[in-house]
Amino acid sequence: MTIHGLDHLRPITASDAEIEAALEDAHIPALMCALVHITGDANVVRGPIKPVINFFGDEQGNISPEDQATVRARAREALCALRDGARLPAPPSQALVNEMVDFIVDRALTPEYGEFLHAELMLSGEDPYAPVGLDELPAAARAGFKVAIIGAGMSGILAGIRLQAAGIPFEIIERHEDVGGTWYQNTYPGCRVDSPNHIYSYSFRPADWPQYYSPQPVLRDYFDATARDYGLKAHTRFGTEVKEARFDERGGRWRLTLERRDGTREELETNAVISAVGQLNRPKWPDVPGRERFEGISFHSTEWQHEHDLTGKRILVIGTGASAFQFAPEIAKVAGDVTIFQRTPPWMAPVPTYHDNVPAGKHWLLNHVPYYAKWYRFSMFWNAAEGLLHAVRKDPAWNGQNHSISAANDEVRQMFTDWIAELCEGDTELFRKVVPKYPVGAKRILLDNGNWMRALRRDNVHLVDEPVREITTTGVVTESGIAYDADVIIYGTGFEASRFLWPMRVYGRSGKELQAHWNGDPRAYLGITIPGFPNLFCCYGPNTNIVANGSIIFFSECEVRYILGCIGLLLRGGHAALDCRRDVHDAYNQAIDAENLEMAWGAANVPTWYKNTKGRVTQNWPYPLVEFWHRTRRPNPTDYQFLDAGAA
């Protein structure tokens, strides 16, 4: 797999006028960084034209229309010259990349970011997520090692691509009938990605996303096409579930028990197992009695029953998380009546482009201008995730009375509250119900262009903020005894997120079973390896989730690079297996726990799927994303105990 930073680019054949028109849609800060690459002139980012970043503010970094015109004129000249045969100058130095990083984020960052960006731009010609040193090992050694990947979603596909490139045999086991994971499973109306699509894509496969946040069918097609193009479907057993995985200490191998849809079983033996099962796919049902009594239609958002026509129906929706937030406004358009039961309102961030198409000019720039897509992606990485981290970190000196945890957090709270007030248009009762009473960042922040609030203000939509007491044969009864009858109940009540790898039975050394070992409190080292479970590697494992809307694909790319690095260690040393050292794992988890308590999602006292039943944050990575990138670049052999076959 040879990839380069500019592989996705198409040659420029556009006329001067077409280039000029496309530039009207340019993201100016990204264009300025691209201009440094194209012209070799560092002064583009050293002059008076600079972005000033306000989160959830102006995409152009408040660069004035006159200054934007100046940049566009310069870009027009440079792109026409490129079309007419000009060559790209030598790539910028690491020091200049650091400067460009500081320019686009409007602050001085640590050199780790420059190093990350230098790699992402592939200026040294290296794929930043390729495992280090695997291709130096004899092909026979690589071919003699076999891996089982559980799940053919985003992470499983990625693991397959990387193993294939490394010449390591693998099989993917997928319980569904096709690839795509969450994007295959979730088909509810209105489903779309809620991280910016230009970061929610593999680093090696930029896509021409039709929207800034594309709908589910587009995402499903992206993963389907990726799996097809890399020939992964031929490596996948569909309609097959891993029921059990057992580590054989003598042979240093894993034995998997697979079950097909028809109930037949078979065994699979491999050297390693990569769990790519995701966190959000096993439905969670509300903890109220009576669900089985309801005599109408009912289903969970992730198991949408499309055979039912909802036109004119009386529908009850339980939950106001990310899923309900997307499907409730859609069903309200056809339903007779929709009553939504809200336990905790979500914070909403104003994102006017949430449903917008990417304009033609921006498509052209992303596809034709060298390094523009990379800097645009980095700008999303910063503005939608990394840059927000400071605003969700606790200031011990701040007294926000459980409404905010720092001055910066309070500022965001005020901005979001103003946005909600604007959308309520004077409806004080609605405003009272929908403004959260907990700090921003304690639960997932939902992106909004006003769609949710417009739905809540429809005549046929009612928001109930009283707890649900029980479900009856005809509907829902709330705590004060009010009964709501309905034809349909839709559960938007989320997933069994903190039951990692459940319901598989996984047995490690000495026959220890994973769920029993975790005892409801899953932990792993870097979210990837677990002491006592050699050669079991997790993607999207414990503490690898994010609250501010970064991209889980970023995490998976780091994890898969690390996992292949671990396999490299085994092959290089001629070992059968590696087992994470308990002291390393424990020290890491202590630090993670302490840091999570400093963050909004750990500090606040509010129900969230980021915490397990014991109140520990099992889901989230509390540090900057770039830290995960650096920590997982290559495994440190001293973190592991190596086991040899026969002596394991």
Binding positions for ligand NAP, rule: CB under 6 A = 192-194, 280, 286-288, 301, 318-324, 326, 341, 343-344, 444, 468, 492-495, 607, 609
Q: Distance between CA atoms of 226 and 605, rounded to whole angstroms?
A: 41
Supply the minimum distance, in Å, between the C-beta of residue 461 and ligand NAP.
Answer: 16
Supply the minimum distance, in Å, between the C-beta of residue 344 and ligand NAP.
Answer: 3
Q: Distance between CA atoms of 592 and 283, rounded to whole angstroms?
A: 27
Nearer to ligand NAP, 91 or 180 (CB): 180
Supply the minimum distance, in Å, between the C-beta of residue 186 and ligand NAP.
Answer: 7
Supply the minimum distance, in Å, between the C-beta of residue 416 and ligand NAP.
Answer: 16
Task: Tell me whether residue 41 is exposed, middle or buried, using C-beta atoms within 10 angstroms of its C-beta: 0 to 12, 13 to 18, 19 or more.
Answer: middle
Supply the minimum distance, in Å, between the C-beta of residue 501 and ligand NAP.
Answer: 18
List 245's β-bridge partners, or say none: 256, 506
Task: Tell me whether residue 11 is exposed, middle or buried, using C-beta atoms within 10 angstroms of its C-beta: 0 to 12, 13 to 18, 19 or more.
Answer: exposed
Q: Phi first, then psi: give them for residue 349, nearest 5 degrees.
A: -100, 135
Q: Give the three-state DSSP class for 259.
A: strand
Q: Phi first, then psi: give them for residue 380, nearest 5 degrees.
A: -65, -45
List 476's β-bridge partners, or say none: 471, 484
Nearer to ligand NAP, 203 or 620 (CB): 620
CA atoms in the 13 A half-sphere facing the CB of 536: 28
Q: Give the three-state DSSP class for 622.
A: coil
Supply the minimum distance, in Å, between the C-beta of residue 9 and ligand NAP.
Answer: 28
Supply the minimum distance, in Å, between the C-beta of residue 49 and ligand NAP.
Answer: 34
Supply the minimum distance, in Å, between the C-beta of residue 541 and ligand NAP.
Answer: 15
CA dihedral 506, 507, 513, 518 (to 10 degrees): -60
Nearer to ligand NAP, 324 or 526 (CB): 324
Nearer to ligand NAP, 91 or 286 (CB): 286
Q: Give the three-state DSSP class for 158.
A: helix
Is residue 257 within 8 A of residue 243, CB to CB? The reply is: yes
Task: Tell me whether residue 106 is exposed, middle or buried, using C-beta atoms within 10 angstroms of its C-beta: 0 to 12, 13 to 18, 19 or more.
Answer: middle
Nearer to ligand NAP, 12 or 157 (CB): 157
315-351: string of b/e by CB count within 10 Å (b at 16+)? bbbbbbbbbbbbbbbbbbeebebbbbbbebbbbbbbb
Q: What is the pairing mode between strands 577-580 and 640-643?
A: antiparallel
The answer to whether the peptide bond before residue 503 is cis (omega within 30 degrees of 0) is: yes
Nearer to ligand NAP, 121 or 547 (CB): 547
CA dihedral 105, 109, 115, 117 (to 10 degrees): -10
Supply the minimum distance, in Å, between the C-beta of residue 395 and ligand NAP.
Answer: 25
Q: Tokens for 564? A: 């292949």
Supply the minimum distance, in Å, between the C-beta of residue 346 and ligand NAP.
Answer: 7
Nearer to ligand NAP, 163 or 490 (CB): 490
Supply the minimum distance, in Å, between the C-beta of residue 490 and ligand NAP.
Answer: 11
Nearer to ligand NAP, 194 or 557 (CB): 194
Supply the minimum distance, in Å, between the C-beta of residue 319 and ligand NAP.
Answer: 3
Q: Tokens for 134? A: 């695997």
Nearer to ligand NAP, 321 or 439 (CB): 321
Nearer to ligand NAP, 177 or 287 (CB): 287
Supply the minimum distance, in Å, between the C-beta of residue 266 and ligand NAP.
Answer: 33
Is residue 71 within 8 A of residue 41, CB to CB? The reply is: no
Q: What is the pairing mode between strands 170-173 and 236-237?
A: parallel
- Quote the crossing angle between the two packed helices 16-23 and 65-83, to the nearest 10°: 140
Q: Distance between CA atoms of 20 and 30, rounded to whole angstroms?
A: 16
Nearer to ligand NAP, 129 or 341 (CB): 341
Q: Give the number of residues written for the chain.
A: 648
Nearer to ligand NAP, 336 or 607 (CB): 607
Fill in the DSSP letter of residue 282.
S
Nearer to ligand NAP, 5 or 329 (CB): 329
Residue nearest to ligand NAP (CB): 321
